Structure 1
Amino acid sequence: MSTRNLLDFLMKEQREKATLADAEKIIEKYEPDEHAKAKKLLSKDGFLMFLHNPEAMILNPDHKEVYQDMEQPLNHYFISSSHNTYLMEDQLKGPSDTEAYVRALLKGCRCVELDCWDGSDDEPVIYHGYTLTSKILFKDVIKAIKEYAFKASDYPVILSLENHCSVEQQSVMAQHMSSILGNALVTTPLGDGMPTNFPSPEELKGKFLIKGKRLNKLEDSFADAAAEAENTDVTEEEESNNEDEQEEKKSKKNLTLAKELSNMVIYCKSVHFHSFEDARKNQSFYEMASFKEGKAMNLAEESANAYICHNVEKLSRIYPAGSRTDSSNYNPVPLWNAGCQIVALNFQTVCTEMDVNQGRFLVNGKSGYILKPAYMRDGATEFDPITLTRGEWLQHKVLHIMIISGQQLPKVKKKISSIVDPLVKVQIYGVPADVAEKEISPVWNNGFNPSWNENLQFDVYVPELALVRFLIEDHDSMSNNEFVGQFTLPFNSLQMGYRHVPLLNKNGDLLPSAGLFVHIMVVDAE
């Protein structure tokens, strides 16, 4: 290929804005044959090396860095969030470990949960109450969080406290957080005077926010001797978990809040949700509700627009139902579609839902913060993901995918003689109108270099909320297909043309050398 041929390929097939100088740089960088390079020609080997480089992969390289506006208020972002962060396995007898916090934080999680209970020797502990899960010291968790919070992302970490402790041990919690986190802990509003909105992720870089109950309104701390309301309503998830209701009622009566801990809650004060109207009239911007998944899903289906408008002003946290004792996960997508920011999942569980979560937060530098589309940040928005009336969100695209071939797909079974029969599924996640799945037929006995050359086509109406998942399974006619690898990315981060798709294993880690080769074209619908 001459530089002119290569430029034609880049512009026509890859749909890239490129110049002759760009083509020359590619030859200079990837052509292994010095004679060809001297003549500014690209050989087949050079071309293949170019197509395998990270910049030419399916994910837009510009989106690997932080490319979104990070100066918007905190509640204008989807925030990567974990539930029962301390657990390594299930919720009944699984081990609790600080390692679970380290793993979640290294995966870019920005909101972690701490279930706090009275421990011996006046040291609070973290575990799943009323179960056989093991216990870890609160202070050890705070130390681990401090050490690993900002290794994957510089943006703020929210500590979501499920506080079941006595007032005495709550004071110990406050002391530990203050001494270990130091001035990284936000204990007063940023700026002067009473805030009227959230600070931005940019302003909160390297900071910790506490989410929990507060004795009074933040406004009161700016008034002179404000009378403090006695608030005995300390726990929040259990309020809707019937299993523990009787236990809880008994203990609630004698639980109050330590002033030192209460005063650390600035931008994320936990309150009950009664209705959207009540929240609009009576709640300050920093007062946020937690919703059990069932309640949240109902609101997202029946009152999606009201939920979106609520989330333009406030933060919402969603958590899995207590009945998920195996730490399974719900589908986060309908809740993102309703503008919910803190959609908490069990990070310790390998599942499709975690793949989708990883895909959502794959971009923007894996910062754990994704800016919501403009129509989800506007208080007067008419956007409803269910009814999809006309509006700026409707940008009907047609996605053409040709699945060409696979490379070095790993064996699923341990037997040396086992060979993969790979099939590919492409799934679209997004608003209900966009949800789709299509698959192509398996190739028998070939995981090394299977070839399909099959075309798939999808209609995507709200591209800003859509995700595309490539899933490879080992076909089995006798039982369920087995997972081989997958890759999920936002629709708007797809690069067009001939692209390699890297593959991740069940844990979300890269499978070395394995991949799919595809051709992608996105066109405006007629």
Structure 2
Amino acid sequence: MLCGGWRRSRRSPEEPRVSAQVAAPLAFLPSPASSDSSTKRPGLRALKKMGLTEDEDVQAMLRGSKLLKIRSRTWHKERLYRLQEDGLSVWFQRRIPRAASQHIFFVQHIEAVREGHQSEGLRRFGGAFAPARCLTIAFKGRRKNLDLAAPTAEEAQRWVRGLAKLRARLDAMSQRERAHTWIHSYLHRADSDQDSKMSFKEIKSLLRMVNVDMNDMYAYRLFKECDHSNNERLEGAEIEAFLRRLLKRPELEEIFRRYSGEDRVLSASELLEFLEDQGEDGATLACAQKLIQTYELNETAKQHELMTLDGFMMYLLSPEGAALNVAHTCVFQDMGQPLAHYFISSSHNTYLTDSQIGGTSSTEAYIRAFTQGCRCVELDCWEGPGGEPVIYHGHTLTSKILFRDVIQAVRDHAFTLSPYPVILSLENHCGLEQQIVMARHLRNILGDMLVTQALDSQNPEELPSPEQLKCRVLVKGKKLPAARNEDGRILSDREDEDEDEEEAEEALETAEQRKRAKQISPELSALVVYCCATRLRTLEPSPGPPQPCKIGSLSERKARKFTREAGRNQTIPLFNPVDYSTVALNFQTPGYEMDLNTGRFLINGQCGYVLKPAYLRQLNTTFDPECPGPPRTTLTVQVLTAQQLPKLNVEKPNSIVDPLVRVEIYGVPEDCAHKETDYVLNNGFNPCWEQTLQFQLRAPELVLVRFVVEDYDTTSPNDFVGQFTLPLNSLKQGYRHIHLLSKDGASLSPATLFVHIRIENS
């Protein structure tokens, strides 16, 4: 039973959690009586559900288009692009010597579709094609843009409009509809002869595709129970019956029965009881009635203010049933406090798309950082040819981009996701002449966006708030009179690089470069208003009155040294700042550091600013991260089940994941911990754990909770499957679904974890 001590009888590994009893018809699956043409063509069922089967743009995409893929001035390759019948993916074919390779990309992985020459690639290499014929598909994560030119402007518009409709309908899908669409896409692929009938061999192929290794005898028994025609083929309603069994959620049915009683429907008062047990703050009868009207799919039940199992499952799989507090997905914090009172999402070497040694620099990297809520970006500025400053990672093989192109990208994209201020952190290696050019570009391109003087002339040293600086751009850099170190040399705008890097730079710089670096242009200095770069020599406050406009930068190594010297444990994770407002991360490098950064800024509308706890906003705080006091909060996580985990090795159909779940805690040193479940053998479709993990927390306001799913391996490190990270203060209690993300932050929908959360404050 899924109650009390949260126990349930275990199954043998060869019999995954699939009920042998047919469920009541699920609202998102067609009824068994359905016999329209879309039932005969499973791939089109998703488009029918979206209401797009008759759409002219979508019809054109289904027929396919020959589009030119553009990579350089000379590399233009014609490719056939065609929307798949599942409405989820686009198929394309490319020709390579002696072979033709086929590929797909998924609609849900598209970040944006831009018309015309609105990408770095098309601005540089698309001049031979009219802007009306061009479009750019920008993807989430690290995948490169797809720059395309259509034969005609109308065909380009069909793809722009069609992709927009598909993305809008996909975003509007419920989680259960996504699961239905997802499994039907695999069904279409498993139907090897495309006759819309499924043999047992094809059903076994389907099961392996969706990440479950089911015992042959057990699978055949389910197959025969659905083979009502007794012809060793499933078709139409028989396929739907099989999928209905596969997609059953016994654990949700058990919770539903516990509250609904014998009549198997929830009244508003019974739903309210469930909400109260969930720990929903301020739950009322009116709230329960509203949920019924929102999520119940049966009109008769809705009219009588009753919720069926289908409606209950729709609710639990909705954003309101997720682990992340839906109220925190909008801006909910006070945005009227000084800038220094916020953690600010910041990027390091923002211009890079890959390696820091030989990778590509691109304005697209800035655009991607902005789409992830980054509010502080770095510009490494160097002398360029023709009097134009360039940006790249100095003394490496990384490519160069023009300073002015980056500023144009800031103007066009900085405020697409968040209206709150952007900080341009300048690492200035240019001489006076090109510094003047930099200042001119900043003023001319940004115009009124650029902050050029204090907002309050009576109190110029007083930091304004994010609210006061909406849609404004701040420059961070050196301000005259320039500070010099012991040998009289002006400090770089990255004030405290790693000593090794500084020595290498000094060894490589010519005498002329060093001479130019000794000067700061008054024109550029004048644009530094609230973010004056300075060297930090200690973490201790400097004597005298506070100087809120001074920003000290330091390397991670120096930061750890300072924390040791200050008597604090050196394991303070810099990506989960305690002493710092901005911690610059390589947004182009996926990993747990970026997961934590994303989790920290997932809340407050993903606006890039998160208000610090009150004790970190006080000048004379007594808070010490190394000695935060006794535990104040107990976090209990019961890991119950997972749904539709992604297959890691699609090239090996017999490779099935053996998933385990690890819960990781990040915060002050004494709170950092991780615990994990056992692994489940050969089942990534619907594994069941029902294991409890518990943590004692001393500074809960700073805690990030990371849920990680891995594929267990006995001989090598586990493989990453998916994760989701969020602040403890935004984690909701009760039965919750956690919607997993990929390594580069893209949605893995419909993959979820189902957990029970309990947070107790002492």
**TM-score normalised by length of structure 1:** 0.88
Matched, 1:364 2:613: no
Determine helix, strand or coil for the equivalent of 2:351. coil
Matched, 1:44 2:309: yes
1:88 aligned partner: 353
- Judged with a 3 Å threshold, the aligned counterparts in structure 2 of structure 1 residues 387 and 355 are, in CA distance, closer, same or farther, namely same
Tell me, yes or no, if the aligned pair for 1:232 and 1:252 is still in contact at 8 Å: no
Within 2, Cα distance between the matches of 1:172 and 1:334? 35
Within 2, Cα distance between the matches of 1:292 and 1:463? 27
1:236 to 484, 489, 494: 494
Matched, 1:523 2:740: no
1:271 aligned partner: 534
Within 2, Cα distance between the matches of 1:285 and 1:455? 46
Pairing of 1:46-85 with structure 2 (within 5 A): 46-85=311-350
Determine helix, strand or coil for the equivalent of 1:512. strand
Determine helix, strand or coil for the equivalent of 1:78. strand
Displacement, 1:96? 0.4
Matched, 1:467 2:707: no
Letter in 2 for 1:211: K
1:252 to 510, 514, 517: 514
Letter in 2 for 1:375: Y
Letter in 1 for 2:372: K
Matched, 1:423 2:684: no
Displacement, 1:437? 0.3
1:413 aligned partner: 649
Displacement, 1:41? 1.8
Displacement, 1:505? 0.4
1:399 to 595, 611, 635: 635
1:321 aligned partner: none
- Judged with a 3 Å threshold, the aligned counterparts in structure 2 of structure 1 residues 334 and 131 are, in CA distance, closer, same or farther, namely closer
Letter in 2 for 1:499: R
Within 1, Cα distance between the matches of 2:285 and 2:657? 43
- Judged with a 3 Å threshold, the aligned counterparts in structure 2 of structure 1 residues 383 and 283 are, in CA distance, closer, same or farther, namely closer
Within 2, Cα distance between the matches of 1:136 and 1:188? 29
Within 1, Cα distance between the matches of 2:538 and 2:293? 62
1:486 aligned partner: 723
Unmatched tracts of structure 1, length 5 or more: 218-229, 308-329
Displacement, 1:334? 4.2
Please identify, of 472-481 and 291-300, the stretch whose mean Cα deviation from structure 2 is larger.
Answer: 291-300
Tell me, yes or no, if the aligned pair for 2:706 and 2:725 is still in contact at 8 Å: yes
Tell me, yes or no, if the aligned pair for 2:451 and 2:527 is still in contact at 8 Å: yes
Within 1, Cα distance between the matches of 2:626 and 2:571? 16
Matched, 1:6 2:268: no
Matched, 1:303 2:543: no
Pairing of 1:436-475 with structure 2 (within 5 A): 436-475=673-712
1:261 aligned partner: 524
Displacement, 1:357? 0.3
Letter in 2 for 1:243: A
2:408 aligned partner: 143
- Judged with a 3 Å threshold, the aligned counterparts in structure 2 of structure 1 residues 355 and 232 are, in CA distance, closer, same or farther, namely same
- Judged with a 3 Å threshold, the aligned counterparts in structure 2 of structure 1 residues 196 and 174 are, in CA distance, closer, same or farther, namely closer
Displacement, 1:19? 1.3
Determine helix, strand or coil for the equivalent of 1:245. helix
Letter in 2 for 1:36: A
Displacement, 1:299? 2.1
Determine helix, strand or coil for the equivalent of 1:244. helix
- Judged with a 3 Å threshold, the aligned counterparts in structure 2 of structure 1 residues 434 and 97 are, in CA distance, closer, same or farther, namely same
Within 2, Cα distance between the matches of 1:412 and 1:88? 24
Listed one character per residue, the Cα deviations across residues 22-72 of structure 1 (whole Å, up to 9, x for unaligned) are 111212222222232233221111111111111121111111111111111
Computed over aligned residues only, the root mean square deviation of the Cα atoms, in angstroms, reads 2.2
- Judged with a 3 Å threshold, the aligned counterparts in structure 2 of structure 1 residues 47 and 129 are, in CA distance, closer, same or farther, namely same
Within 2, Cα distance between the matches of 1:500 and 1:165? 52
Tell me, yes or no, if the aligned pair for 2:493 and 2:533 is still in contact at 8 Å: no
Letter in 2 for 1:112: V
Moved segments of 4+, more than 4 Å: 334-337
Displacement, 1:455? 0.8
1:326 aligned partner: none
Letter in 2 for 1:85: T
Letter in 1 for 2:329: K
Within 1, Cα distance between the matches of 2:635 and 2:558? 34
More relative contact order, 1 or 2 (CA 8 Å, 6+ apart): 1
Tell me, yes or no, if the aligned pair for 1:233 and 1:252 is still in contact at 8 Å: no
Determine helix, strand or coil for the equivalent of 1:269. strand
1:508 aligned partner: 745
Letter in 2 for 1:101: Y
Within 1, Cα distance between the matches of 2:309 and 2:601? 35
Within 2, Cα distance between the matches of 1:512 and 1:236? 40
- Judged with a 3 Å threshold, the aligned counterparts in structure 2 of structure 1 residues 33 and 63 are, in CA distance, closer, same or farther, namely same
Identity of aligned residues (%): 50
1:34 to 299, 309, 313: 299
Within 1, Cα distance between the matches of 2:540 and 2:758? 44
1:19 aligned partner: 284
Determine helix, strand or coil for the equivalent of 2:353. coil
The structure that has the greater radius of gyration is 2
Tell me, yes or no, if the aligned pair for 2:572 and 2:669 is still in contact at 8 Å: no
Pairing of 1:177-196 with structure 2 (within 5 A): 177-196=442-461
Tell me, yes or no, if the aligned pair for 1:503 and 1:514 is still in contact at 8 Å: yes
Determine helix, strand or coil for the equivalent of 2:480. coil
The total of aligned residue pairs comes to: 487
- Judged with a 3 Å threshold, the aligned counterparts in structure 2 of structure 1 residues 278 and 455 are, in CA distance, closer, same or farther, namely closer
Pairing of 1:280-299 with structure 2 (within 5 A): 280-281=543-544, 284-299=547-562
Displacement, 1:3? 1.2
- Judged with a 3 Å threshold, the aligned counterparts in structure 2 of structure 1 residues 476 and 395 are, in CA distance, closer, same or farther, namely closer
Please identify, of 493-502 and 39-48, the stretch whose mean Cα deviation from structure 2 is larger.
Answer: 39-48
Unmatched tracts of structure 2, length 5 or more: 1-265, 483-487
Within 2, Cα distance between the matches of 1:304 and 1:68? 32
Listed one character per residue, the Cα deviations across residues 379-427 of structure 1 (whole Å, up to 9, x for unaligned) are 11111101224xxxx7711111111100000011122222111100000
- Judged with a 3 Å threshold, the aligned counterparts in structure 2 of structure 1 residues 512 and 61 are, in CA distance, closer, same or farther, namely same
2:585 aligned partner: 345
